[in-house]
Structure 1
């Protein structure tokens, strides 16, 4: 029996070569490639401009390891959370976040996570494996279809803020973005894509060298090393000084601002010294700050800070000329908000 190969691991040129080697015209490879990436075909039977015998032949040699939305939950505010089953039975989650002006897909890059942020439910799963480019791509396609059904409009933005650390799955994430933004894929503008990292200095520099056209966000949460290490223990290996150095490198190479994602917790980072440290960190390169509402993962150590603390952050940042947005979480009633993705039924 022929061992079937994952067809979406092939480049267009490799597909063209495959057809030529098997006595077919090379352009068949172009047709198959278009079906896979532009039209999102799940089966070879859908490829109607191929002869029946060619489709049977393809099915004998290849498999399309397509994701399946195994379970969908819809929040009171219109947010949708997908439990996405992969070809090997593992599950990740992705989220559709609609607002009056846009629809954003929050996608996962790993099954579980390589890092150990104390406040994040995904970190409890540990990393099981990286997602392949097509598995990342499929999450986006699924959410685009849902947006067209429920919101009567296409997907407008993508954030890599789901399960996993994107920079720990560097090659596959960049290949997925290439397919999402390419003319032979979804053709989305890279300016509408944001990759969020917890801060891996070496990989931030590598990303800068690759000159991406998409945006970078840093999950910061404290600009004081001791405090950041308490809530994000890997900070011991990647301290704030090293991250700052990589962000300077990023800005010098790309000229693109960074967004700092920042949750404020009661008794952890809600004092004036925390605000002042963030202001100083914001002076490293041009940036903006998103203050994010905390979403409970049933850990008594972490509790949403008071409105007064949030006001202090907002007021102080604005007084120092730093752009700040306070983000209200969506999808909390279905555990679809930031930090809650953990395959919880």
Structure 2
């Protein structure tokens, strides 16, 4: 009779301990297996050498380790690395290693495709196929950390949930993955080095605040005028700016942590004085900083990068109002690894 194998990494440490007790073994075996799965990143039960062969065979019969596999790796001329990651069911997501002088950042995916419909983003054209499990998100980070050590001779320093998918539409699994990443029994990374970027789902932003998360929050804003934002991100009809603002005020009240607004300036779309004035006003509601992002075209030409003059006008207006602003230059454009370009082209 064929046994329907369970994904062993879906079990908590306590559940593993209970499993071993149920088969007449010692509960501490659960601790050993948990360490192999998370701290040591075992891909197979055979690797668990401090466990008897008989026990390993029993695990093999009942469970499976649905580990990711780096299907292909591309290296950019600027040192950026893009992984096409194959999941256990054959679906592919992409994740990126972004090295700079001061840090190495993993940009990870949370969904296969995306739940939302931002017109400027290649991922949104794939539509959402499924949410990633916590272990699949965790594995992306481990793979990038290994590559950072191999190719750049230093460990990963930061993680951003800015890859494929809307993280807050996969809320439970994203938070579970961060729990594992920050746990001493996982990767032991500080939550202060993690940023979750959302297109703006007010209800879930409030839930983040209520759940007292310790990581940073970034919001893809791109316009502080409702009609313009709907043109860029049609889903914004359901998540209006007024509700978004209220949720961000709630976030700050609960966490006392600044928000980062991700903002691309496009020619003829949001490069006018009224767009700049609206952003400055929106920034006054909650302590924040603005990341102006260089636009990366996705083939059809509907969106075009604004002039340097328009970007400079934004910078001057924000600085004049004492709103911190940085300009993020694109990395990995030559391998379609830059912001908004992840689309499984291969």
Q: If the length of structure 2 is used for normalisation, what is the TM-score?
A: 0.99
Shift of 1:300: 1.3
Q: Distance in 2 between matches of 1:23 and 1:70?
A: 40
Residue 52 of structure 2 corresponds to: 51
How far has the Cα of 1:59 moved from its partner?
A: 0.7
Shift of 1:12: 0.3
Could you say which residue in structure 1 is the equivalent of 2:295? 294
Q: Tell me the alpha carbon deviations over residues 44-81 of structure 1, each in whole angstroms, 9 at most, x when there is no partner.
A: 01111001111111111100000000010000000000
Question: 1:299 Cα deviation (Å)?
Answer: 2.1
* Count of residues in correspondence between the two structures: 345
Instruction: Give the CA deviation at 1:276.
Output: 0.7
CA distance in 2, matches of 1:255, 1:101: 26
Aligned partner of 2:64 in structure 1 is 63
Alpha-carbon distance between aligned partners in 2 of 1:145 and 1:158, rounded to the nearest angstrom: 14
Q: Paired residue for 1:186?
A: 187
Structure 2 counterpart of 1:137: 138
**How do 1:167-316 and structure 2 match up within 5 A?**
167-316=168-317
Aligned-partner SS, 1:277: helix
Q: CA deviation at 1:226?
A: 0.4
RMSD between aligned alpha carbons? 0.5
TM superposition shift of 1:252: 0.5
Per-residue CA deviation, residues 227-252 of structure 1 (Å, 9 max, x unaligned), is 00001001100010000000000000
Deviation for aligned residue 1:218 = 0.2
1-side partners of 2:102 and 2:55: how far apart? 44
Q: Distance in 2 between matches of 1:3 and 1:165?
A: 31
Whether 2:342 is the aligned partner of 1:321: answer no
How far the C-alpha of 1:23 sits from its partner, in A, is 1.2
CA distance in 1, matches of 2:315, 2:231: 24
Q: CA–CA distance in 2 between the matches of 1:48 and 1:157?
A: 32
Q: Deviations over 1:126-172 (max 9, x none)?
A: 00000000000000000000000001010000000000000000000
Q: Structure 2, unaligned stretches of length 5 or more?
A: none
Q: Distance in 1 between matches of 2:156 and 2:250?
A: 32
Rounded Cα–Cα distance in structure 1 between residues aligned with 2:16 and 2:67: 18
2: CA distance, partners of 1:141 / 1:116: 29
- Report the counterpart of residue 155 of structure 2 in structure 1: 154
Matches of 1:72 and 1:208 in 2, distance apart?
A: 36
CA distance in 2, matches of 1:168, 1:217: 15
Where has structure 1 moved over 3 Å in runs of 4 or more? none
1:32 partner SS? helix
Instruction: Tell me whether 1:99 sits opposite 2:68 in the alignment.
Output: no
Q: Which residue of structure 2 lines up, in the alignment, with residue 75 of structure 1?
A: 76
